[in-house]
A and B are shown apart, each in its own frame.
Chain A
Amino acid sequence: MRTIVLLIALSIMLASTAGSAMNVVGTVSPDSAKESVKQFMNDSKINLNLGDEISLPTGNFYIVGTDSKEFWVNKDTGIVERATFYSEMSKMSDTIISKEKCQEIALSYAIQHYIDFETRNLQLNYQEFHDTGIDYEYTFIWHGYQQDIETPSFILVTVNANTGNIIEYVGLSREVNVDLKSTISSHEAMKIASDYFDNPYTESVELKVVNINPKEQHLVWAVNIHDTQSEDMLQGGIVEIDAENGKILRVFKWL
């Protein structure tokens, strides 16, 4: 029952923020959010407009920007956690900058803008080239770890592989405020997750710290399940088991 309630709450939360603006209580004013962007950009003259406000499990945000730049400012901390530079999304030629050079550019940008870069034990474990149809780009993602457990902190930097300019930056830094000792074993978690589906097999299980909402964290076993029953369609999903009490927190199903 709790799982159903949580899923309904998550769906309502996300559905209500898909498009329309909504008011979310925060401690930072819109003007302060604009100041944060000016500091982030090191440009005191940038003319910023306030867009939607958005509430997500990972944070509450002001969306601020211009016609070609979009910034998400955390309403609780005033930190710029997303910056997208739309004018950098362009395909100039077929000449591609090397991955190593793009990584160097991305790392430099991340160090410059992510305030907790030295303390979040970040590890680069996603580096992919994409031909998006409108540009060539490299995306790098650093995941934060604590005691070898993945945390809600991460950095994403996307670099235009033609120009070397930054297309997008996302940097979420979150303190871990839950006990990192699991009461439930991985085998117990797999059993609980498997019972959720018919004819399942487990592909992987991993301990993570996740935010259910901006104020609520859990240590979870994320169990990746595939269902062998269906003939032509993929079934199964990722089941989050609370590592403290064994309850199912959230279920994300394969489409």
Chain B
Amino acid sequence: MYPTKGYWLWMDNPGTLITLNAPWADDYQFSYEDLSTIPTAETAANEQSIIAYGGMPHTNSDASYAYNRITNDSIFFFNGHGIRSRDDGEHGGGLSFWNGTDKTIIAAEHIDAPLNTTTYYIAEFNDQMNDVLLAVYVACWSGRTSAHLGNLVTMTHSKGADNVIGFTEELLNPQSNYWSDRFWYRCRAGSILGTPQTIPTAAQSAKTDVLIAFYPYTGGVSSLIGEYHSDGGVYDYLIPARYGTN
């Protein structure tokens, strides 16, 4: 039985499901001063929309905007800069949003050494991420545990998200962009027969896609890590469109 939180399915003809209010899928991309992750959010949103999610690309958003929407998302996709410590090498734990003028951050938790940047913490949610079926954090060290900001992947999973993906090492762009494009494609269409791949299988396969495309520069995508639902059931897949388990 699929959860119906936040959206409705209507049986038009027997056997035909029509999505009246598609599960939210928010996709964030950025044009930083040094590089761009455009148009990966459009690509992701297109793939998600084909399979009945409400894929919505956002360019140069504030962290506050994403933070206020994430608890209503089924899919949250970020492709942008991660966070590095200036002093002690304790990288990771956060996502750097850039609105074209100012930087803001979503981080796992506030442990110590507060940043001089406005920061929103996943730890402050209770179980409000239960609707999240999949969170994908494409950013340097997004899966690494920082002594200052915690671990985004494990924190997001602990707050109710079914599937969470991050990277423990620094990433190169455009390798990370290509991983994203291939990941969303594989989640929807697989590779051979148009059969969707499970979320973890798509993530792993996209890693090898990058290796072949960019050899010898794999760009850190081999450091992919994930917390997955992985019970062999429907929550391992993006199809059919739905919210998270709880």
A104 at the A/B interface (Cβ < 8 Å)? no
Which residues 1-36 of A sit at the B interface, judged by CB distance below 8 A? 10-11, 14-15, 18-19
When chains A and B are docked, how far (Å) is the Cα of A7 from the Cα of B82? 23
Chain A positions 193-236 with a Cβ under 8 Å from a chain B Cβ: 208, 210, 222, 227, 230-235
Nearest CB on B from A124, distance (A)? 15
In the bound assembly, the distance between CA atoms of A139 and B91 in angstroms comes to 25
Cβ contact within 8 Å between B171 and A14: no
Q: Which of B20-28, B51-59, B62-70, B193-201 is found at the contact surface with chain A?
A: B193-201
Q: Mask for A66-84, Cβ within 8 A of B = 1, else 0? A: 1100101000000001101
- Decide if A232 touches B103 in the complex (CB within 8 Å): yes
The CA of A25 and the CA of B173, in the complex, are separated in Å by: 28
Across the interface, do A234 and B81 meet the contact criterion of CB distance under 8 Å?
yes
With A14-B213, A134-B228, A134-B230 given, is the CB distance from A232 to B96 under 8 Å? yes
Q: Is the CB of A58 within 8 A of B215?
A: yes
| Docked-complex contact A238 and B35, CB < 8 angstroms | no
Interface size on A, residues (CB 8 A): 54
Whole-angstrom distance from the CB of B3 to the nearest CB of chain A?
A: 22
Q: A252-B172, A255-B140 are in contact. Are A49 and B215 (CB under 8 A)?
A: no
Does B189 lie at the interface of the complex (its beta carbon under 8 Å from any beta carbon of A)? yes
Contact of B100 with A by CB under 8 A: no
Q: Which residue of the partner chain B has the closest CB to A250?
A: B217
Q: Does B182 lie within 8 Å of A133, measured CB to CB?
A: no
Which residues of the partner chain A approach B96 to less than 8 Å between Cβ atoms? 232-233
B 5-26 binary contact with A (CB < 8 Å = 1; else 0): 0000000000000000000000
- A interface secondary structure, majority: strand
Distance in Å from the Cβ of A30 to the closest Cβ of chain B? 13
Task: Point out the residue from A19, A134, A154 that lies within 8 Å of B47, measured CB to CB.
Answer: A19
Q: How far is the CA of A168 from the CA of B201 in the complex (A)?
A: 12
State whether A133 and B192 are in contact (beta carbons under 8 Å apart), knowing that A210-B216, A238-B217, A255-B171 are contacts in the complex: no
Tell me which residues across on chain B come within 8 A of A132, comparing CB atoms. Answer: 200, 204, 224-226
Contact B173 A253 (CB under 8 A): yes
B185: CB under 8 A from chain A? yes
Quick check: B178 and A49 within 8 Å, CB to CB? no
Q: Are the CB atoms of B228 and A133 closer together than 8 Å?
A: yes
Specify which of B80, B86, B115, B174 is in contact with A14 (CB 8 Å cutoff). B174
Query: Which residues of chain B are within 8 angstroms of A66 by Cβ–Cβ distance?
Result: 192-193
In the bound complex, what is the Cα–Cα distance between A173 and B41 (angstroms)? 34
0 or 1 for each of A94-122: is its CB under 8 Å from B? (1 = yes)? 00000000000000000000000000000
Residues of A within 8 A of B172 (CB): 237-238, 252-255
Contact among B80, B184, B192, B214 with A51 in the assembled complex (CB-CB below 8 Å): B192
In whole angstroms, how far apart are the Cα atoms of A255 and B180 in the complex? 13
Q: Is the CB of A233 within 8 A of B81?
A: yes
Judge whether A86 is part of the interface by a CB distance below 8 angstroms.
yes
Give 17 new A-B contacts, CB below 8 A, not counting A18-B181, A52-B191, A134-B228: A59-B212, A66-B192, A72-B212, A89-B201, A134-B198, A227-B34, A231-B86, A232-B96, A233-B32, A233-B96, A234-B140, A234-B170, A252-B172, A253-B172, A255-B138, A255-B139, A255-B172
Can you list 25 A-B contacts with CB-CB less than 8 angstroms, sorted by A residue number? A14-B213, A18-B182, A19-B181, A19-B185, A19-B189, A63-B192, A66-B193, A82-B208, A84-B205, A89-B204, A132-B204, A132-B224, A134-B228, A143-B216, A156-B211, A168-B208, A232-B105, A234-B82, A234-B84, A238-B172, A252-B214, A254-B140, A254-B171, A255-B79, A255-B176
The chain A residues found within 8 Å of chain B, CB to CB, are: 10-11, 14-15, 18-19, 49, 51-52, 56-59, 63-67, 70, 72, 81-82, 84, 86, 89, 128, 132-134, 139, 143, 150, 152, 154, 156, 168, 170, 172, 208, 210, 222, 227, 230-235, 237-238, 252-255
